Amino acid sequence: RLRLHDGKLIKDRRYHLRTYPNCFVAKELTDWLIDHKEAPDRETGIRLMQKLMDHYIIHHVCDEHSDYKDAKLLYRFRKDDGTFPLSKDVKVFMRGQSLYEKLVSVEGSILKVREENSVKYQRTFLGCEMIDWLVQEGEVENRKEAVELGRALLEHGIIQHVSNRHHFFDSDILYQFWINFRRRRRLTELLNENSSRTLSESPDSPFCLRKLNPDPGNTSFLSVQTNKEIKIVSAVRRSSITSLAGNSNPYFSTTPTLVFPPVAECNPKSVLKRPVTNEELLSPGAPYVKKTLTIVGDAVGWGFVVRGGRPCHIQAVDPGGPAAAAGMKVCQFVFSVNGMYVLHLDYQTISSLIMTGPRTLVMEVMEAIE
């Protein structure tokens, strides 16, 4: 959007005696995508813009077309006309992005590479340092408000304690931004990320939110079993959804094309100690706390397994994936997905909602109080 403004493709345009502010011509934008190597051909360009329409990022200026047409029609970014849907979760995410951009662009930034317990962490800061900076820059009025902001950012998975053991405090505890907002992404990633996301017909929840890992290096997957024992299952690559269809192993495929070594089968049983009902979760005084997680999918997905139904729970979490970084844990119950209440849905419906939604996933989960 900003590049199109700079290139004057977005501007006020007159059509049938009426002026439409901040809009672009679809055909011209498709040309621009090809010229700037954002799309290899017109068909791909159209699919990319349709993705943006589907996720309420752009729309026809009169909302007369629900699809993107490669023609002399006027479209507009919703952020340019105030119709972009700003939920509380999106506002927190955008505030985190704004703070991150401000922090990395100043000299002597508090964001640094630091070491704790012989482990190096990127984009770290001390809690008290962040609060000093927020007050000094006028981002908040006082330290109490700064702590509230820090806690909101942590609860949405934008910042975390480096070893994920503490909430946000005005202290010398070390935190970090989990999300690298400056990672440059190409539009074509919108299409690539969904290329193999089709729901498996397997009765068990597949590792459906993690696609084939492009890194050929060995990885380990932790499967938390009902007896709390942790079993490490090593594989050359994590499986894709399509490779799981019809396979009895719900986590790893033995198809020869993936060249897997012999591996131990993950425990297919539920990680829950006992069944939990919606009534139990929602009853007054129930021993559960609600948390909001903001998970930005990487090139291979989000990295967790949903299983069960009414309510669904988190069956497994890839320790190296975005979900783990955002604070997701096994046995959490899925309360909402991108603002939609889902306690009454089964895992297949919830998986479909996640896989057809945006890269940035906002989930509310309910976790038992220890």
Mean pLDDT of the chain: 78
Cβ–Cβ under 8 Å, residues 210 and 300: yes
**Interval 145-200: pLDDT, tens:** 999 999 999 988 899 999 888 899 999 999 999 877 777 677 887 776 544 333 33
Kindly report, residue by residue over 214-261, the tens digit of the pLDDT: 333 333 333 333 333 333 332 222 333 322 333 333 333 332 222 223
The DSSP annotation for 123-148 comes to EEEEHHHHHHHHHHTTSSSSHHHHHH
* pLDDT score of 193: 53
Split at pLDDT 50, 70, 90, the class of 27 is: very high
In this predicted structure, the answer to whether residue 365 has a pLDDT above a threshold of 90 is: yes
Distance CA 58, CA 2 (A): 13
| Tens digits of residue pLDDT in 50-98 | 999 988 899 999 998 889 999 999 999 998 888 887 777 788 888 998 9
What pLDDT does residue 86 have?
Answer: 76
CATH superfamily of 278-368: PDZ domain (2.30.42.10)
Q: Which of 18, 174, 179 is nearest to 92 (CA)?
A: 179
Where are the CATH 1.10.10.10 domain residues in the chain?
A: 1-77, 88-177
pLDDT of 183: 72
First-to-last alpha carbon distance for the chain, in angstroms, is 46
Q: Where in the chain is the domain with CATH 2.30.42.10?
A: 278-368
pLDDT beyond 80 at 32: yes
Reply yes or no on whether the pLDDT at 357 is more than 60: yes
Half-sphere exposure of 139 (CA within 13 A, CB side): 22
Predicted local confidence at residue 268, as pLDDT: 52
Q: At CA 324, angle to CA 318 and CA 329, rounded to 5? A: 90
Q: What is the pLDDT of residue 198?
A: 38
pLDDT of 249 = 34
* Tens digits of residue pLDDT in 202-216: 333 333 344 333 333
The length of the chain in residues reads: 370
Does the pLDDT of residue 273 top 80, yes or no?
yes
**CATH entry 3.40.640.10 includes domain 88-177:** no
37 alpha-carbon distance from chain centroid: 26
Is pTM beyond 0.85 here?
Answer: no
- The second-level CATH assignment, the architecture, of 1-77 is Orthogonal Bundle (1.10)
Q: Residue 118 has what pLDDT?
A: 87
- Token readout for 145 is 């408000």
102 vs 197 pLDDT, higher one = 102
